Amino acid sequence: MALAEAGARGRLLRWPRVLLFGDSITEYSFQENGWGTYLAERLVRKCDVVNRGISGYNTRWAKLILPRLITDSTNTDSIVAVTIFFGANDSALKELNPKQHVPLEEYATNLKSMVQYLKSVGITADRIILITPPPLQESAWEKECLAKGDKLNRINATTGQYAQACVQAARECGTDVLDLWTLMQKNQDFSSYLSDGLHLSTKGNSFLAAQLWSRLENKLSALPSLLPYWRDVDHTNPEASLL
């Protein structure tokens, strides 16, 4: 059978999608042992996990590019979950990092604006998960800053204010939220979750993956595997199984 004929006979295969939208902690999530890699492995042949993490970005910039990632013409029915994971850069201290800093109230407004935009293009609140920034381990991050000739440009107490604003924004928008800042600090030595005081270590990636999967499992684990298991293909008439 010609490929064109096979394509005409069979239904177009569309993988559902999970969209990960965030800063460097999302961009790096597809590295070895990353939390995005964990999700992709759990959802193989069920969903495409799409990494749209953009290192260094804050919510002021993110809200501008979100409509370029998902538009009115996007098949939003195929998007089964979206994570919005910003705050680590927004919470940078204004006097030491004015380029990335976003004031607290604007940060909350930007998050709500992004959620409202997703709703406006057909992605319902139950498919959206906000993730707070993780806690900041100041001594480790200060070493990173000093190595670049900078002063410590973030503090954990301020990051916590942004985390609280993220939780409140989710509450107001009716979405789920993963309060990473609070959950990680239930472990007294939360520094083990961080590789450099800001970004996630292997342990931190595993922790986030487990927490996020607990929120996604009920929604996504029941999705069917796409295409039959190879032992179930009728080898004498594969068209009957595959088209």
Q: How far apart are CA 220 and CA 80, in angstroms?
A: 8
Query: Is residue 29 a contact partner of residue 53, using CB atoms and an 8 Å limit?
Result: yes
Beta bridge partners of 177: 130
- Using DSSP bridges, classify how beta strands 79-85 and 48-53 pair: parallel, antiparallel or unpaired: unpaired
Q: Which phi and psi (to 5°) does residue 159 adopt?
A: -55, -40
Of 215, 217, 216, 187, nearest in space to 203 by CA: 187
DSSP 8-class letter at 125:
G
Q: Two tokens at 87? A: 């705050």
Q: In the annotation, is 199 catalytic?
A: yes
Q: In the annotation, is 120 catalytic?
A: no
Q: Two tokens at 40? A: 């992709």
Looking from the CA of 109 toward its CB, the CA atoms found within 13 Å total 7
DSSP 8-class letter at 232:
G
CA dihedral sign of residues 179, 182, 186, 191: positive
Exposure string for 40-54, b = 16+ CB within 10 A, e = fewer: bebbeebbebbbbbb
**Active-site annotation holder among 120, 196, 214, 241:** 196
Helix residue spans in 49-99 (DSSP H): 59-69
Q: In the annotation, is 196 catalytic?
A: yes
Residues with catalytic annotation? 24, 196, 199
